Amino acid sequence: MSKQPFLPIIVGTDINAYNMAISFHEEYNIRPILVGKGALPFTNLSTIPRAIEYDKKLGEPDQFAKILISVAKKYGDEADKLVLIGTNDLYVRLIIENRAILQDYFVFNNIDEELMEHLQLKSNFYKLCEQHGIDIPTTYFYDCRVDGDFTGDMMYPVIIKPSNGIEYSRHPFEGQAKVFKVESREEVQKVLDMVKASGYQDELIIQDFIPGEDTAMWDSVIYVSSKGETQLVTFAQVALQEHTKTAIGNYTAVLTRYNEEVMTKLRGFLEAVDYRGFANFDLKYDERDGKFKVFEVNIRQGRSSYYVTAMGHNMARYFVDDLIFNIPTPCTYLKGDLLFSVVPKIVLRKFVEDPTVQADIQRLIREGKMVNPLFYKQDKHCKRKFYLFMRQINYYKKYKENVW
């Protein structure tokens, strides 16, 4: 039996992992292998992965490479190359940190460790942004190891969030939120003391709260090939994000847009820092000065990035053309009309308040240009429809009960 040219090994079992799995299935009719720490219904209740290899120690730095190498040995004889793709910050970090050993078993396209530290640690990232003309919000950094009371002069409300999200997640505490929105200096100090008491030993970001609803948030996905050539630049407006404390910042509905000036600026930034792979920028439009301000860049595709695949630029194809077939791809500034949503239409109708965005949502629904990847038609798992039905109902309750 002849080997297939490649087999995707996707690290993760969440929505992002599912979106990557169906991207490979749509484009190549290949059922990927997933590797995860634990079962999540997005992927566990799915017929798309050929297998899911679970190991609860996957997130441990001294175990990660060993686990992936055992997966490579199990499936390596089936394909000429194994394409390795991380789907969350921790797994991407561990792939990068273990590059020297993993590249003997897999092909992958990620930045090096030095650039990762510059982009993932926000104090480093914001300095880079200032050097390269990227607008950012007014920001203070508070070091939990040494700083006392916060004395910064800021307008309120402000946002507080960890500079090191991975380290923050390793120190759970009661009341922990992905992002805190606070109204006074006294509240700032209360949050700082609470985070410090958890044992978190890194910086916190105290940042100007840019006014605006979810629709003031924007998203950009960019792919830079392993040779350093930018091949894809997108821009999209957020219609809704998650409103629960632990999930703020995860987009549940986005509309594709086009802004060549901003897209070119973000592309130029990545090229200037010698980036590789998928990048996903989070921005917010500040109506006070008319600027798009960057909050962060994820060093991977995001969970809402499936809109790229849905618009005919399959994310899996970018990896495969680059890493397997060495096919040169000219740079595309993605332009077109699409609504990506993992929430039901009633949630969009009830909870998107911006009248212009609401009008666009209703138009795109009428035109059949709405996509929800979780309802992938080729996925035939018998329990999946019931799970998705219940999930849609729960989304309505979540938005009704949680106001951000």
- The pLDDT tens digits of the residues spanning 196-214 come to 999 999 999 999 999 999 9
Q: Identify the pLDDT of residue 122.
A: 83
Label residue 241 exposed, middle or buried (CB < 10 Å: 0-12, 13-18, 19+). buried
Question: pLDDT tens-digit profile of 289-330?
Answer: 999 999 999 999 999 999 999 999 999 999 999 999 999 999
Q: Is the peptide bond before 157 cis (omega within 30 degrees of 0)?
A: yes
Q: Give the pLDDT of residue 163.
A: 86
Residues of CATH 3.40.50.620 domain(s) within the chain?
4-108
- Give the residue-averaged pLDDT of 255-281: 98
pTM (predicted TM-score): 0.91
Q: How many helices (H) and strands (E) does the chain have?
A: 15, 17
Write the single-letter amino acid at 347: V
Class at the top of the CATH hierarchy for domain 4-108: alpha beta
**Predicted confidence (pLDDT) at residue 22 exceeds the cutoff of 80:** yes
Residues 40-52: what's their mean pLDDT? 96
Give the model confidence (pLDDT) of 121-130 as tens digits.
888 999 999 9
In the chain, CATH 3.30.1490 sits at 138-208
The CATH architecture one would assign to domain 214-401 is: 2-Layer Sandwich (3.30)
CATH pick for 138-208 out of 3.30.1490, 3.10.620, 3.30.70, 3.40.190: 3.30.1490
More confident residue, 319 or 139: 319
pLDDT score recorded for residue 153: 83
Provide CATH 3.30.470.20 ranges for the chain: 214-401
Residue 9 to residues 33, 85, 108, 182, 320, Cα–Cα distance (Å) = 5, 6, 10, 41, 12
Quick one: pLDDT at residue 403? 65
- pLDDT at 1 exceeding the cut of 60: no
What would the pLDDT profile of 75-84 be if each residue is shown by its tens digit?
999 999 999 9
Query: 79-117 burial, b if ≥16 CB within 10 A, otherwise e?
Result: bebbbbbbbbbbbbbbbbebbeebeebbbbbbbeeebbe
What tens digit of pLDDT does each residue of 326-370 get?
A: 999 999 999 999 999 999 999 999 999 999 999 999 999 999 999
pLDDT of amino acid 402: 73
Q: What does the pLDDT read at residue 246?
A: 61
What pLDDT does 18 receive?
A: 98
Q: Is the pLDDT of residue 143 over 60?
A: yes
| The pair of three-digit structure tokens given for residue 392, joined into one six-digit string | 């849609």
Cα–Cα–Cα angle for 332, 275, 281, nearest 5°? 65
pLDDT-derived band at 245, boundaries 50, 70, 90: low
